[in-house]
Chain A
């Protein structure tokens, strides 16, 4: 069974540009979660999608947005990139919101 896949693995952008990160959940998982892990920091919750709808979002500005497609894959968009957005962005999926998450390998975003 394929795990959670994320692309690209690495992404380098210039300040002010937009970044798009993609995630495919485990087959059968309808919930997708996005987390930001800045260097030396813990995991900060960004967004939760389930059945194509945004169910909850963390304390991030509106320039962080995303969507979930009918096949349950998801993308995270970050507009007007700032240097502080440099981080590892992790996507996870689960069978239910109360069950354990399976994380992807992440996208390392570097803003220069």
Chain B
């Protein structure tokens, strides 16, 4: 079945450093979504990318969708302590996986002040 892999699993940075997490799908995706889960919280939808090669920005966050629509990345510029949490990518399935979002295992970001 469809697999969505994320690297790295953990990332420790000093406040002010940049951070990037990468997401790869075993199948071509119609769209890719990104979520953030704060410690002790629930996942919160950040963004959805639909077009091949699409790049979207939200303040210090930059999201990219690969040309082949099988990979994506999230880059945070000048991290802050408020960026702490787990970042998940997720892709919709097709065939027998229709209607279900498959999540990557997430990247846990720790920001040291």
Chain A residues with CB under 8 Å of chain B are 31, 33, 35, 41-43, 45, 48, 50, 55-56, 58, 90, 92, 97-106
Nearest chain B residue, comparing its CB with the CB of A35:
B103
Shortest CB distance B47–A (Å): 8
Please indicate the chain B residues that have their CB under 8 angstroms from the CB of A103 in the complex: 42-45
Stretch at the interface among B18-26, B52-60, B64-72, B93-101: B93-101
Beta-carbon contact of A56 and B88 below 8 Å: no
Residues A56 and B43 in contact, CB atoms below 8 Å apart: no
Is residue B102 within 8 Å, beta carbon to beta carbon, of the partner chain?
yes
Across the interface, name the chain A residue whose C-beta is closest to B43.
A103
Residues of chain A lying within 8 A (CB to CB) of residue B45:
100-103
A100-B42 contact in complex given A45-B101, A55-B99, A56-B100, C-beta closer than 8 Å? no
Report B11-33 CB contacts with A as 1/0, cut-off 8 Å.
00000000000000000001101
Interface residues on B, range: 20 to 34
**Interface assignment of B80: CB less than 8 Å from any CB of chain A:** no
- Pick 28 A–B contacts, CB within 8 A, sort by A: A33-B100, A33-B101, A42-B104, A42-B105, A42-B106, A43-B43, A43-B90, A45-B102, A48-B100, A55-B99, A56-B96, A56-B97, A56-B99, A58-B100, A90-B42, A92-B43, A97-B98, A97-B99, A100-B45, A101-B35, A101-B43, A101-B45, A103-B42, A103-B43, A103-B44, A104-B42, A105-B41, A106-B42
Decide: B48 and A99 in contact? CB cutoff 8 A: yes
With a cutoff of 8 Å between Cβ atoms, the chain A residues found around residue B30 in the complex are 98
Q: Nearest Cβ distance between residue B100 and chain A, in whole angstroms? A: 5
Complex CA gap A104/B92 in Å reads: 20
Interchain CB contact under 8 A, A42 and B92: no
Query: When chains A and B are docked, how far (Å) is the Cα of A43 from the Cα of B105?
Result: 7
